[in-house]
Amino acid sequence: MKITLITVFLIFQFIMAQETPLKLMPYPGQVNLKDGNFRLNEQFIVSTNGSINERLNFNTTRFLRRLSGRTGLFFPQDYITSKKPEQNAHLVINVARQGKLELGEDEAYEIVVSPENIKISAETDFGAKNALETLLQLLEADKDGYYFPAVEIKDKPRFKWRGLLIDAGRHFMPVDVIKRNLDGMSAVKMNVLHWHLSEDQGFRVESRVYPKLHELGSDGKYYTQEQIKDIVAYAAMLGIRVVPEFDVPGHVTSWLTAYPELASVPGPYSIERKFGVFVPALNPAQEFTYTFLDNFFGEMVTLFPDKFFHIGGDEVWRGDEHQDAHWNINKDIVAFKKQHNFKDNSALQNYFNQRVEKILEKYDRVMIGWDEILHDSMPENIVIQSWRGKEAMIKAAKRGVRSLLSNGYYIDLIYPAKDHYLNDPLPDDVDLTDDQKQMILGGEATMWAEYISPETIDSRVWPRTAAIAERFWSPGYIKDVNDMYRRLEYISYQLEELGLTHIKNPEMMMRRLLQNQSIAPLKTFTSVVEPLKGYQRGQKRIYTTFSPLTRVVDIATPDARVAREFNDSVDAFLLQPDKETAQKLEKQLNCWQENHKKLSELSLEAPAINEILPLSESLSKLAGQALVAVKILNSEDIHNTLKPDSELFQNARTSYGQVELAVVTSIEKLIKAASALK
């Protein structure tokens, strides 16, 4: 990698910024702190200049109301309108032109805060909106009131495509869920909602051309066309493009429930209640399939104006080794493959994809698909979404095909924020030329919905997605994990003002689960456990679309903060034992040791928590041994002996109720270190 003077300067800028208390996320590319502050009072006036438009006025008004809500100050302005600029304004926003809601539009901005005023400059209103989000994050307070620190910021996105996928197919997500997550996306400068709208478990859009799709394929849970238009329009006001996904030719049971004549094998079909990869697939050998898709896509593009249209294409049960694959059973399809000299079903799917691409091209749309659609004979004007690894993304880039990365950003798999944060779409050692790197548009976090409900989705999306948003926006050298977590705590609670429920809903669910008893013991327990990661949850228990998502595993959140901070404290203590850290650890361990008795008493009136009591007991026993270990290591109990209990560790690592303790390894370190002193 070449290190230029500019690179060194930018890295120096970030290191200097890290020494400040700024809580920005995504962190800007250039931050220059100055002396002084701009003090906020109730005379605060905002003025918009240049290319004033409805979207700029909407976001400026929204900024003003949120600022008022955070501070309790009564500002004189109500709605910002397109009237002449305000005189003597304290915040002046200059916009050169109205932005176009399309891939690659200018989203850069500059902010200058001085003790006298604040100035925002941007080429487009999208940039101005981003600047306003950064300005809200800059807000600080002291005994004298609220203020913005004097600072100069120059910022622009690293990647053009910064998305969040929301799966409304497996579990339906109502309009309010979609809108509040759009608000959250806007706050962290994401610009694409990838809306997964059809699945084996449900077809979620009203179709007036083929009405049985939503009438028979949705259990009555679908978006009307008016609701779709409203959400698309709302997203546009926030600078967010909406890309629909209708998954074909696999994951189509809900389609076939309504129109079995599309199927490769005769029906009847019914909506799938379980989760997984299923056999049914569209029939790629009949013209009716393409006529149907032509008419349907023609209707959908009137609802979704974005240039990009996602056709899925993943996990088609088509392998030649699958004797039950419908493409291997249907004699007409077998004959069709032979007639066209298709050597396998992969070639047949490629034929299907080419036909679909031509349909979308007719409607002036660019086809996106999961990495299974990458094939040497596919046209280059498509986009590959790489989910099984980075190999497809790199291969596509070398062919001159654009791609997105989702591998490593599957937030439904409950991995910690740091794992996603350090997963770079374009790491320094990637084997691509500069021109090939331009083929990597960005990436998407994916919120698949097997194990989420409208009540729990926010706690799975946020706040980790803010860290992913920073990876897509900020320069690649900004990757300090500890500082990321520091800033993430602030951004997390700020997201609540947008109606997101990731902080408040877990406690509400605890009250319900405990029959309104004290939630403190369960809160203590869930602060150190996490849901099983990866695909383990579905392997431990069979779920359906009607299974309850209200248990302790649904209350527990990914990346438990208390556990993470305890683990960090243990590492610091083992490196350099000291009295202050020892006292901190002892306080926490005493709490865990005593908690099991309290939780057991609660279970007498709340049997739903019985399933996690064995894990609670293991935590209590571990904490007891760890207390002795801390005293030994801190030279407070040098005459005691401690021997690691392998059976206890094994029990503590066993999951119960699909949750697992997140502190076992750290406690084991303490105990082994103490035992080694004897």
**DSSP classification of residue 462:** T
Tell me the H-state helices in 605-645.
Answer: 613-633
Q: In angstroms, what is the C-alpha Rg of the chain?
A: 27
List beta partners, residue 442: 161, 404
Which residue matches tokens 């622009």?
156
CB atoms within 10 A of CB 210: 18
CA–CA gap between residue 325 and residue 249 (Å, rounded): 13
CB atoms within 10 A of CB 607: 9
Amino acid at 554: D
CA–CA gap between residue 95 and residue 130 (Å, rounded): 12
Tell me whether the omega of the peptide bond preceding residue 115 falls within 30 degrees of 0, making it cis: no
Amino acid at 47: S
328 near 349, Cβ under 8 Å?
A: no
How large is the greatest C-alpha to C-alpha distance in the chain, in angstroms?
84
664 near 622, Cβ under 8 Å?
A: yes
324 near 291, Cβ under 8 Å?
A: no
> Which residues 6+ apart lie within 8 Å of 618 measured at CB?
648, 651, 652, 654, 661
- Helix-helix angle 345-362:287-300, to 10 degrees: 40
530 near 658, Cβ under 8 Å?
A: no
Three-class DSSP category at 97: strand
CA–CA gap between residue 66 and residue 61 (Å, rounded): 9
368 near 385, Cβ under 8 Å?
A: yes
CA–CA gap between residue 583 and residue 586 (Å, rounded): 5
Taking alpha carbons only, the member of 231, 174, 270, 273 closest to residue 542 is 273
Q: Is 496 a catalytic residue?
A: no
CB atoms within 10 A of CB 444: 25
Residue of 105, 315, 594, 617 marked catalytic: 315
- Which string of b and e fits 494-511 if b means at least 16 CB within 10 Å? bbeebebbbbebbeebbe
> Which residues 6+ apart lie within 8 Å of 142 measured at CB?
none
**DSSP classification of residue 575:** H
Strands 161-167 and 198-199: unpaired
CA–CA gap between residue 545 and residue 547 (Å, rounded): 6
Q: Which positions are annotated as active-site residues?
A: 315
